[in-house]
Amino acid sequence: MENESFDYQQIDNTFRPKILRYLTHMVGEFEAEDLTQEVFIRIISNLSTFRGECRLSTWIYRIATNVAMDALRRPFHRQKIHFIDHRETGSSVEKHIELREKAPSAELRLIRKQMNTCIRGYIYGLPENYRTVLVLSDLEGLNVSDIAAVLGVSLHTAKIRLHRARVKLKKELETHCNFYRDEQNELACDLKTAMEQLKSS
C-alpha cells in the first residue's frame, strides 16, 4: 500500500477513540487526552515513513505504547485513575451484593460496569509490562501476534508475558472478586462478600 493512499482524517476518525481508550487504561484519564494528541502528532510526522511491514493498526498501537511508556517513566508522572477501591470491605460490599441481587437489568448493567472498573484498577496496579499485554489483549482485543509486533518482542515472549500477567491478575482477583467472561467475552467481576474475601485471604 502506497503512503499516498492513506487518508489521515479517516485514520484519525477510526483510531482516535481507540487510542484514547487505550491510553486511559494505561495512564489514567488525567493524562490520556494530552497523550492521545501526542500520538496523533507522531502519526502525522511519521506516516510518510510507514512502509507496511506491519498492519497500520499495529504501527499506531506501537506509537501509543511508546508514548504511554515514556509518560509512565517520567519522575513526576501524574497518576489519576478512578476505580472502585478494592480495599472496600464490610457493609459497603454487602450493600453492593444486596443491590446486585435485587437490581433490574439496567441497574445490573451499571453495577457490572463498576465491577469492570474495579478490574481495571487491579490491572493498573500491575507492573507496566504485564499491564500493557493485558490491556492490549483483554481490553483492546489484539491477538498475541499483534501484541508481539506492537511491543517488538517475539511471539514466544508475548505469550509468556501474557500468561504470567493473567496468572498474577487472577491471584489478585481471586482474593477480592468473583470474576468471569461476560456475554461479550469481556473480563468482568462481582465483588465478593466480606466473608468470601476473608476465606480467600
Split the chain (201 residues) into runs of 10 and give each run's mean pLDDT: 66 94 88 94 91 89 94 65 39 38 48 60 84 90 94 96 90 72 66 58 58
Cβ-based burial of 158 (10 A; exposed 0-12, middle 13-18, buried ≥19): buried
What's the chain's length in residues? Answer: 201
Three cell numbers, residue 58: 499495529
Q: In the prediction, which pLDDT does 4 show?
A: 47
Q: In the prediction, which pLDDT does 18 show?
A: 94
Q: In the prediction, which pLDDT does 60 show?
A: 96
Say whether domain 91-200 belongs to CATH 1.10.10.10.
yes
- CATH: 3.40.50.720, 1.10.1740.10, 1.20.272.10, 2.60.40.10. Which one for 3-72? 1.10.1740.10
Domain ranges in the chain with CATH number 1.10.1740.10: 3-72
Q: In the prediction, which pLDDT does 133 show?
A: 94
Q: In the prediction, which pLDDT does 97 show?
A: 37
User: Helix (H, G, I), strand (E, B), or coil: what is residue 44?
Assistant: helix
Q: Give the pTM.
A: 0.68
Q: In the prediction, which pLDDT does 161 show?
A: 95
